[in-house]
Structure 1
Amino acid sequence: MDFPASVAGAPLLSGEPPFRVLLVDDEPLQWTLVQEILSGSGFELEIAADGLQGLACLGRSDFDVILTDRRMPGMDGDEFCRQVRRQPGLAMLPILMVTGSTASSDLLAGLSAGADDFLGKPYNPVELLARVRVAAQRKRAMDQLDNTESTLFALARMVEAKDENTGDHCSRLAHKAVGFGLALGLPSPELQALRRGGVLHDIGKLGIPDHILLKPGALTDEEWAVMRQHTTIGYHLVSKLRSLRLTAPIIRHHHERWDGSGYPDGLAGEAIPLLARVFQIVDIHDALTFERPYKPAFSEAQARAILEEERDRGWRDPALVRAFFDWIGRDPGWADPPASPTDDLGVQLYASLSSAD
């Protein structure tokens, strides 16, 4: 079947690429209508005559929006949506489904299959243009957010790489913190925050001079005052990102103490955010059980004794210390590394940056 592969629209702003729209529809008349509506409005349209062709297009190109008919021969719109949502990286790609039905059962089936919104047939040109544009702008905003997060994760990896003695500390913390969070019954958003905290908790060390950060010997009081600023520097780096709203307090408060003697804010007891208290126990335990320039790797028994001593001194949340050792005692695989990197948002970008000429 012959049909035009693409129709280019004018860029939205100088230097900004047009929104890329994939139209999946078996009716040539609809191709023409959508081309006329979107042409010259900052869109680039690619057409697939059925669901299988649509999946093939998604496999070779990136798009900002999918516009799909619901009733098509072979793979209908609902099944096409399900197939799209199963593809890696396409969970957030906006899908607008076109249907002539107004039955609530049909609309519910489309939403359940993965559609984000519906457009009625016949098209209202103004509505079609507005809906597609809003969906595409939202997708670009999400892409920008992903890029910002990825950059932060890559920078955090570079901080870790400066210190050859920490090894895979960040990846271990991300994995173990999530495991502890699961044992505590924390909900998914908080588990995600712990995962991100594992990688980003020391990102504020970007602002610490190397002669202090990498000093082999003990720090002076003045140098410690500078080093402690990494918590607030890191907090300010991420606090404006809504997606890191739950992670930012981990970065700021993971050096607070239960009795209020920690930093940067001297918070005490339950005034210290729960996720920061959960994270710091995992962080301390990992630091104790791995070798550092100033200490050997301690045994599990030694690490437990030190953490319990800190609990008795009033530094750690007693209930969480007890819960931590209960967890690792009943789960023999608690420290097993994940099958794939837990900081996937940044690990590839870090690799590309660190290997660049």
Structure 2
Amino acid sequence: MDQNELIRRLSGEYPYRVLMIDDDPLQRLLIEEILEPPQYHLTYAPGGQDGLDWLCRAEFDVVLTDRRMPGMDGDEFCRRVRSDLGLAVQPILMITGSTAAEDLMGGLSSGADDLLRKPYHPMELRARVQAAVHRKRITDQLDSTESTLFALARMVEAKDENTGDHCSRLAHKAVLLGLELGLSTAELMALRRGGVLHDIGKLGIPDAILLKPGHLTPEEWVVMREHTTIGHQLVSQLKSMRLTAPIIRHHHERWDGSGYPDGLAGESIPLLARVFQLVDIHDALISPRPYKEGMSAEQASAILADEAERGWRDPYMTRRFLDLVRRRPELASMSTPQADPANDDLGVRLYASMTRRN
């Protein structure tokens, strides 16, 4: 074993976990010869249903499936993986003997990520598998990083016993406003993430200031305001947070330039930050606290309208938001929508596992 291979194995790169689905024993023997241990760990399933069962109880870097199989064929298997199991990013490499364009398109449209035609060269199979493994492991690392950030953000929220499910409410309401404004899917996802992550920088604020029951001194406010730049630094290196990072940094800017941290004014404030801050302020106004009662929807709307007139808020965005509040009374509700377990849970399950008491 050379030094590079030793380093790869010690770093956890090996083995590549491969699930092979094929009813042909000869094809199995062929792939076993090509994908040899210790670099590959091959699990065999003789049919589509067996493959689904394996995916329910184990994780794999890549799935190899034949297209033509009795019972459940490769196309149906792919559809079931994507829909029934909800594994949207599981790499699937489909192997087919067909060269017909409609068959190839059928395999891709059913959910396969890549197609390999028989007969294939062993080096081509290994190259395709390694490329799929690389994508899968990068995705896994990204998912782990994001989930940890979301869980940490919920720990910040949990320090204040009075905020309740503030983060989850903001994630939900910000998306509703984004839909009203016709924002793109990527922008809606950024707003949803911003709902949870907007105050993550408070991890760097001393508890003596963060949890102080009375008013902060001018010196303490200087420290408190650093949470926007701290949060931005925590997430800005993640490409998936490209649209969310400006929300975290700029959701306390004001239309007239009197906000922080950068004193941006007007349309120089990122659009998503202007959208998000309206939802954030509105939720804070209607939420009860030990030192105040929650305002009615009418009172909160009046304050936002006044702040827009004073030059603190984007006047157009404020009008759109207040119109939405009039049409959607649930925006003034303190209830939290149930999370969809098939989607990104924004750290709910990870945070729950970190704080669960036996």
TM-score range with shorter-chain normalisation? over 0.9
Amino acid aligned to 2:350: L
Shift of 1:280: 0.2
Within 5 Å, give how 1:226-241 maps onto structure 2.
Answer: 226-241=223-238
Q: For 1:14, which of 10, 24, 33 is the aligned residue?
A: 10
Shift of 1:11: 9.6
SS in 1 for 2:337: coil
Shift of 1:332: 3.6
Establish whether residue 176 from structure 1 lines up as the match of residue 173 from structure 2.
Answer: yes
SS in 1 for 2:163: coil
| 1:11 and 1:42 in contact (8 A); partners too | no
| 1:258 and 1:269 in contact (8 A); partners too | yes
How many Å separate the matches in 1 of 2:142 and 2:176? Answer: 26
How many Å separate the matches in 2 of 1:86 and 1:304? Answer: 42
Aligned residue in 2 for 1:349 = 350
Aligned residue in 2 for 1:81 = 78
Deviations 1:107-162 (A, max 9, x none): 11111000111111123111111110110121011001000000000000000000
| 2:97 and 2:117 in contact (8 A); partners too | yes
CA RMSD of the aligned region, Å? 1.7
| 1:153 and 1:343 in contact (8 A); partners too | no
Shift of 1:293: 3.2
Within 5 Å, give how 1:111-126 maps onto structure 2.
Answer: 111-126=108-123
How many Å separate the matches in 1 of 2:256 and 2:292? Answer: 26
How many Å separate the matches in 2 of 1:344 and 1:168? Answer: 14
Amino acid aligned to 2:152: L
SS in 1 for 2:208: helix
Aligned residue in 1 for 2:3 = none
Give the stretch that moved more between structures: 40-49 or 137-146: 40-49
Aligned residue in 1 for 2:195 = 198
| 2:285 and 2:294 in contact (8 A); partners too | yes
Aligned length: 348
Within 5 Å, give how 1:316-355 maps onto structure 2.
Answer: 316-334=313-331, 335=333, 337-340=336-339, 344-355=345-356
Deviations 1:82-105 (A, max 9, x none): 111113441100010111222221
Establish whether residue 137 from structure 1 lines up as the match of residue 134 from structure 2.
Answer: yes
The 3 A distance-change label for structure 1 pair 293 and 88 is farther
How many Å separate the matches in 1 of 2:344 and 2:232? Answer: 18
Establish whether residue 30 from structure 1 lines up as the match of residue 27 from structure 2.
Answer: yes
How many Å separate the matches in 2 of 1:41 and 1:124? Answer: 21
Q: For 2:215, which of 209, 215, 218 is the aligned residue?
A: 218
Q: For 1:285, which of 279, 282, 297 is the aligned residue?
A: 282
SS in 1 for 2:347: helix
Give the stretch that moved more between structures: 42-51 or 202-211: 42-51
The 3 A distance-change label for structure 1 pair 345 and 307 is closer
Shift of 1:269: 0.7
Identity %: 67
**Structure 1 residue ranges, 4+ long, deviating more than 6 angstroms after superposition:** none
How many Å separate the matches in 2 of 1:166 and 1:259? Answer: 29
Aligned residue in 2 for 1:6 = none
TM-score, length basis structure 2? 0.93
SS in 2 for 1:91: coil
Deviations 1:321-348 (A, max 9, x none): 1101111212244446323268713111
Aligned residue in 2 for 1:48 = 45
| 1:25 and 1:49 in contact (8 A); partners too | yes
SS in 2 for 1:145: helix
Amino acid aligned to 1:14: L
| 1:290 and 1:297 in contact (8 A); partners too | yes
Within 5 Å, give how 1:239-278 maps onto structure 2.
Answer: 239-278=236-275
Aligned residue in 2 for 1:100 = 97
SS in 1 for 2:153: helix
The 3 A distance-change label for structure 1 pair 264 and 280 is same
Gaps of at least 5 residues in structure 1 are 1-9
How many Å separate the matches in 1 of 2:234 and 2:287? Answer: 28
Gaps of at least 5 residues in structure 2 are 1-5
